[in-house]
Amino acid sequence: MPLSDDLQLKLRKPYASSSMISMTYKGNDLMIRTDAEGNAVVLFIGKKDASGKIKGQRYARTLKKNSSGEIIKDHWDLKGKTS
């Protein structure tokens, strides 16, 4: 299942660096892991269980920048189910 354009726009904005952010989006629970620059790099999407873990899908982001820091490659890959 590819990520919707609305969700990708939400994931492009900067967040707190090197952290895990929890939120909801259209009835799904999200956990976003960020890198040192505050970019979302891992996404867990699904439903939280009683222990706070998300059961659903895991996505990883490929972000490549050139020498001047401009993003030249930016896409999300489905990595599989989470438990």
The Cα 28–Cα 59 span in angstroms is 14
Best CA proximity match to 49, nearest among 34, 76, 31: 31
Instruction: For the chain, give every domain's residue range.
Output: 5-82
What is residue 2's DSSP assignment? P
pLDDT at 1: 66
Per-residue pLDDT of the chain (83 residues; tens, 9 = 90+): 688 999 999 999 999 999 999 999 999 999 999 999 999 999 999 999 999 899 999 999 999 999 998 889 999 999 999 87
pLDDT at 69: 84
